[in-house]
Amino acid sequence: MNAIRKRRHALLEEKRKKAELERLEELRRLKEETMKCNIISQRILLQEFLLSQEQTLAKTLEDKI
């Protein structure tokens, strides 16, 4: 009986560890995706800002050159 209990316990522990590893991997993937989305949104905001300041920037650069 003890052997069966030990085997069940070992199987449950193995299943728990596998589930934990899968959860950590999913969290890592979600973090990567979030970082990508943040970078893309920052690029869009920068582009919009530069487009809104296009004339001012062009005049400033023209004056410096």
Q: What tens digit of pLDDT does each residue of 16-61 get? A: 999 999 999 999 999 999 999 999 999 999 999 999 998 898 888 8
Which amino acid is residue 34, in one-letter code? T
pTM of the model: 0.62
Contacts of 57 (CB under 8 A, 6+ apart): 50
CB-based contact 58:51 (threshold 8 Å): no
Per-residue model confidence (pLDDT) at position 61: 86
Task: Give me the residue label for tokens 């299943």.
Answer: 15
Per-residue model confidence (pLDDT) at position 9: 95
Contacts of 50 (CB under 8 A, 6+ apart): 57
**Spacing of C-alpha 52 from chain mean position:** 29
Per-residue model confidence (pLDDT) at position 64: 86
Per-residue model confidence (pLDDT) at position 1: 82
